[in-house]
A and B are shown apart, each in its own frame.
Chain A
């Protein structure tokens, strides 16, 4: 395929070997404990330059073209504990893009550099108990007090919530309401008034820690505002595009691997005197899904190329997020189904895969929210 250079191929091998060598041996343990040791894993990723591929070299980034990001995330998607892939995605593509894009040099020095090195752990705080899909309904406030801001509010379902050193937080810096008067601010978690109120127990992505965070009059410098005060909503919408693409890239790797593993199993398992794979129905179902994964994969690469050209990728990211999440649910369901009883057992990868992939139709913007965006974009809309 003409898209990939020799370096791209070597890079894919590196990430695959890293996942095999540094993540897979611990997957069971991390799943069971409901958390993975980000403080051990992230510096290893950082040392290899994997946490800041697309960022400026000045802060330790790789200034790589977006195809590297796609390859990285696809390979992350092959791991058997997708919660860790998600947590890494938060660090690389969900909590840091705005900081890299709009942050002041001082803020980047203080927070982006260690995030790229993997020595500090980032979280993204958007969702609140009463505002998920409708981000503009959020209430968390950051009120001016001289050169400082006082942050008060609650954020829910925050990935890396137990381990984060700082949160890229969406907060109201004025009373304008709706999407106005909202800013992105960085809140260090060692600030007084910050607390983790709950560790959340989830259906899947269990190797990732998810938390409810409470901000009770947390004092931070106003200089911690990322980019322009009051432009936070717009900036966050851009950051969501990175988040959605990374989810889609990961799902391609995840589905590819799942279909392959299922095929391997069907060749081994015998019923009615022959391998299960000898049933045309099963073979064609897998081929059908593989063709859909292929379409998505190349759609993703087109998105990466568009990003490389500096184009707005909102439509790409919306379509990719929607299609990948829905396809992953289908793939997970069929892989489990074709394994039969053993597929329903926790000891088989299919069970966890089924639970883990289910997230992506909700997290990072629900399928319906993607449809809402697309409908509006394409004029399928009336008020």
Chain B
């Protein structure tokens, strides 16, 4: 029985056909400079230069894979991304993996957006993605590492937030999430729709197939600016940022390790070292 629930600014729909359920998942994906090429900071803005070709953040490939597994043949994965210069290269990769469509927010006014603004923009973009049951994101991006956007999106959308998921199973109108912790994992049950952040490495992202690559180009990418999302230029970008990068300092260089010459008794030093660390 199809049912549509409209609550606040979002709407979702679940279609249950016997035991099979139709599911739409939105995945927030970031397109980042290729980590293989040395990145550079802009000295005036103190942010990463992002004007070259961007690729799909590897951290997000896990969310895409998890979404594709969750929807299987009965549902759709929609990508949502905010990137400069109408960049779609990273989106194409995720579309080639099997996502159905994408919403791309690209607007010069967004330069300098902090993580809360990013979350607000993505939340609006998610609203354009159509009906959805679940929003996935990576726990953190590989170029920014704030690790806060998914939770902020949940707050903006007024949805429950589950973090550090290592697996998700759908059970009717709720999900069961194994949530990674330092000691092991928590089992969390959460009603849908929800926003879940996915830990890197928990699934094996598929390779896009040749056919997937060929199909990706014709999949719809809905490119929008902030006006399309009903946002005001003064509320986003540098103007809207409630956060400022004051200084960037180089990380402390690692100190050289201690070299122990083995005189036949070196193992004692190693044992002492490990027991000092309380490892043994």
Contacts and interface: CB of A to CB of B under 8 A. Distances in A.
B211 A10 contact: no
Specify which of A10, A21, A49 lies most central, judged by the most chain B CB atoms within 10 Å of its CB.
A10
Contacts of A64: 210, 214
B207 A49 contact: no
A299 interface: no
B92 A62 contact: no
A287 B217 CA distance: 37
B217 A50 contact: no
A10 B207 contact: no
Contacts of A68: 210
A198 B149 CA distance: 62
A6 to B, nearest CB: 7
B89 A6 contact: yes
Contacts of B213: 7, 10-11, 14
Given A6-B217, A7-B214, A14 B207 contact: yes
Nearest to B215: A7
Nearest to A47: B209
A13 B92 CA distance: 12
A64 B93 CA distance: 19
Contact of B209 (A13, A17, A48): A48
A10 B209 contact: no
A316 to B, nearest CB: 24
Nearest to A60: B211
A68 B214 CA distance: 11
Interface in B202-236: 207-211, 213-214, 216-217
Nearest to B211: A49
A7 B208 CA distance: 11
* Dominant secondary structure of chain A at its interface with chain B: helix
Contacts, number: 39
A6 B209 contact: no
Interface string B80-95: 0000000001001100
A108 B77 CA distance: 36
A7 B88 CA distance: 12
A265 interface: no
Nearest to B213: A10
B139 to A, nearest CB: 23
A7 B215 CA distance: 10
Interface string B31-54: 000000000000000000000000
B207 A7 contact: no
A227 B92 CA distance: 41
A53 interface: yes
A18 interface: yes
B57 to A, nearest CB: 15
B153 interface: no
B70 interface: no
A53 B210 contact: yes
B29 interface: no
Contacts of B207: 14, 17-18, 21, 48
Interface residues of A, number: 17
Interface string A271-299: 00000000000000000000000000000
B210 A11 contact: yes
Contacts of B93: 10, 13
A50 B210 contact: yes
A62 B215 CA distance: 12
Interface string B84-119: 000001001100100000000000000000000000
Contacts of B209: 14, 47-49
Nearest to A13: B93
Contacts of A18: 207
A7 B214 CA distance: 7
A14 B89 contact: no
Contacts of B210: 11, 14, 48-50, 53, 62, 64, 68
A14 B207 CA distance: 7
A18 B217 CA distance: 21
Contacts of A7: 213-214, 216-217
Contacts of B89: 6
Interface string A1-43: 0000011001101100110010000000000000000000000
Contacts of B92: 6, 10
A10 B214 CA distance: 10
Nearest to A57: B211
A18 B209 CA distance: 11
Nearest to A50: B210
Contacts of A21: 207
B181 to A, nearest CB: 29
Interface of B: 89, 92-93, 96, 207-211, 213-214, 216-217
Given A7-B213, A7-B217, A62-B211, 14 more contacts: A6-B217, A10-B93, A10-B216, A13-B93, A14-B213, A17-B207, A47-B209, A48-B209, A49-B209, A49-B210, A49-B211, A64-B210, A64-B214, A68-B210
18 contacts: A6-B89, A6-B217, A7-B213, A10-B93, A10-B96, A10-B208, A10-B213, A10-B216, A13-B93, A14-B207, A14-B209, A14-B213, A17-B207, A48-B209, A48-B210, A49-B210, A50-B210, A53-B210
Which 9 A/B pairs are nearest by Cβ-Cβ distance?
Answer: A49-B210, A48-B209, A10-B213, A49-B209, A62-B210, A49-B211, A7-B213, A11-B213, A14-B207
